[in-house]
């Protein structure tokens, strides 16, 4: 290899952005086409610096917008390279058209999405509005709860996405500022271990293979469009989860760190459970432990994989629970929250129908405090004691002014 290796300490104090940038270096990305936006800029900035300093053999393409950034990534991936970029919020929104192109063309691109609110009003802080916007785009979506996860999940994303049975792009989500700009200890892999895990990029149907010419980005009307979309969906529904599980297993062998498609904490005998994503999962874990000391059997379920949605794994994780709160960090704008709907769907045909209530919280980076979670668990326990949901089905946590609730 014609590039320099970097000596890392076993534990480095990194924020989520730098952890992701280091993972991109260790995966030896061939092409990053990127446009800066808060709070994800340091990821691609980090890649550019590693490249300039001779730690990577690759190319950084500066473009004029996020639409062009993803278009550049699509071109480079179709040509047959290992490709990644990063974005947030408005940048992600501008990318949406090209996200569907990437998944429809079956190009294994990894996009680091540092979750941030969508305007208006303009806000640079973390919520899940952009993450939710991407959930029908045909990408695999992984969710990090802390900088360590942001590092690890990048390797797993490349491994799954580039698998020739999958060939679908993947997003690695982390919470804006709460993970991206929060420094914590990150257990590192050596450059050789990390690269060994993802392996050499093996192109498939690449445009630069002139011996075997192929066409990318074709037009299909009613004669074939539905078959393409149905097969793409079929692969997401049937082929991706086993590959993710295999990647998690391999990663555990390499690093000792165990990831699960659905993360369950204190769920074995839980009466009440909170289900959420991002940093909130970890805060809720701490509160659940404290609630148990007070005699409330509290548990937490976190989604590690958002798409494909772990329909059966979620139902399994929530088996036997009496009351569940779904926490959505995105305004559903005229509906129950995404998690409320998805969980309701996953549980509807199961034997034990738990009491389900939905909460919207943390928009624009509004703090989710431990005190909020304590009241939430108490509210769930009150539902259990009453044998019914005692509150409206949709409430808002931490918003000022008159208490908002619906349904």
List of residues contacting another protein (CB under 8 A)? 9, 11, 13, 15, 124-125, 146, 175, 177-178, 181-185, 279-280, 282-283, 285-286, 367-371
Closest distance of CB 203 from another protein, Å: 37
Cβ closer to another protein: 30 or 175?
175
Cβ closer to another protein: 31 or 284?
284
Closest distance of CB 40 from another protein, Å: 14
Closest distance of CB 3 from another protein, Å: 20
Q: What token pair was written down for 164?
A: 């020739």
Angle 390-288-253 from CA coordinates, rounded to 5°: 130
Whole-number Å distance between alpha carbons of 10 and 115: 28
Closest distance of CB 289 from another protein, Å: 9
Cβ closer to another protein: 158 or 177?
177
Whole-number Å distance between alpha carbons of 48 and 50: 6
In terms of Cα–Cα distance, which of 183, 175, 186 is closest to 127?
Answer: 175
> What three-state secondary structure class fits 402?
coil
Cβ closer to another protein: 198 or 267?
267
Closest distance of CB 300 from another protein, Å: 10
Within a 10 A sphere around the Cβ of 150, how many other Cβ atoms?
A: 32
Closest distance of CB 331 from another protein, Å: 20
Whole-number Å distance between alpha carbons of 389 and 383: 5
In terms of Cα–Cα distance, which of 7, 59, 70, 61 is closest to 28?
Answer: 59
Do 60 and 32 contact (CB within 8 A), yes or no? Answer: yes
Closest distance of CB 402 from another protein, Å: 23
Q: What token pair was written down for 315?
A: 């139902």
> What three-state secondary structure class fits 377?
helix
Cβ closer to another protein: 234 or 289?
289
Q: What token pair was written down for 81?
A: 């390279």
Q: What token pair was written down for 273?
A: 């459970």
Cβ closer to another protein: 203 or 364?
364
Whole-number Å distance between alpha carbons of 68 and 46: 20
Q: What token pair was written down for 331?
A: 């305004």
Cβ closer to another protein: 233 or 370?
370
Cβ closer to another protein: 146 or 354?
146
Closest distance of CB 124 from another protein, Å: 6
Residue that has been written with the tokens 């760190």 in this structure: 257
Query: How many angstroms separate the Cα of 47 from the Cα of each of 85, 113, 210?
Result: 9, 15, 30
């Amino acid at each position: 290899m014609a590039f320099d290796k970097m000596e890392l300490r076993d534990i480095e104090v990194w924020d989520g952005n730098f952890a992701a940038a280091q993972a991109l270096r260790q995966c030896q990305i061939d092409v990053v086409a990127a446009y800066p936006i808060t709070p994800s800029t340091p990821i691609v900035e980090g890649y550019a610096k590693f490249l300039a300093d001779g730690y990577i053999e690759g190319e950084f393409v500066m473009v004029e917008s996020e639409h062009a950034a993803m278009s550049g990534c699509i071109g480079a991936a179709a040509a047959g390279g290992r490709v990644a970029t990063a974005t947030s919020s408005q940048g992600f929104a501008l990318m949406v058209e090209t996200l569907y192109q990437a998944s429809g063309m079956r190009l294994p691109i990894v996009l680091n999405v540092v979750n941030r609110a969508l305007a208006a009003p303009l806000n640079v802080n973390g919520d899940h509005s952009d993450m939710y916007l991407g959930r029908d785009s045909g990408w695999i979506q992984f969710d990090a709860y802390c900088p360590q996860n942001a590092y690890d999940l990048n390797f797993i994303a490349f491994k799954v996405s580039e698998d020739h049975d999958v060939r679908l792009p993947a997003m690695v989500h982390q919470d804006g500022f709460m993970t991206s700009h929060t420094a914590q200890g990150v257990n590192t892999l050596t450059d050789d271990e990390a690269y060994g895990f993802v392996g050499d990029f093996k192109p498939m149907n690449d445009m630069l293979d002139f011996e075997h010419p192929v066409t990318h980005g074709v037009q299909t009307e009613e004669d074939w469009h539905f078959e393409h979309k149905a097969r793409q969906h079929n692969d997401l529904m049937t082929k991706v989860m086993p590959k993710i599980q295999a990647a998690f297993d391999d990663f555990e062998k390499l690093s000792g760190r165990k990831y699960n498609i659905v993360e369950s904490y204190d769920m074995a005998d839980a009466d009440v459970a909170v289900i959420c994503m991002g940093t909130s999962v970890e805060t809720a874990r701490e509160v659940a432990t404290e609630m148990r000391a007070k005699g409330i059997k509290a548990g937490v379920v976190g989604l590690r994989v958002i798409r494909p949605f772990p329909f059966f794994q979620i139902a399994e994780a929530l088996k036997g629970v009496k009351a569940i709160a779904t926490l959505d960090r995105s305004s559903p704008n005229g509906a129950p929250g995404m998690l409320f709907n998805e969980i309701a769907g996953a549980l509807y045909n199961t034997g034990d129908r738990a009491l389900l209530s939905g909460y919207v919280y943390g928009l624009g980076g509004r703090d989710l405090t431990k005190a909020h979670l304590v009241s939430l668990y108490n509210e769930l326990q009150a539902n259990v004691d009453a044998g019914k949901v005692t509150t409206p089905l949709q409430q808002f946590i931490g918003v000022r002014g008159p208490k908002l609730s619906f349904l």
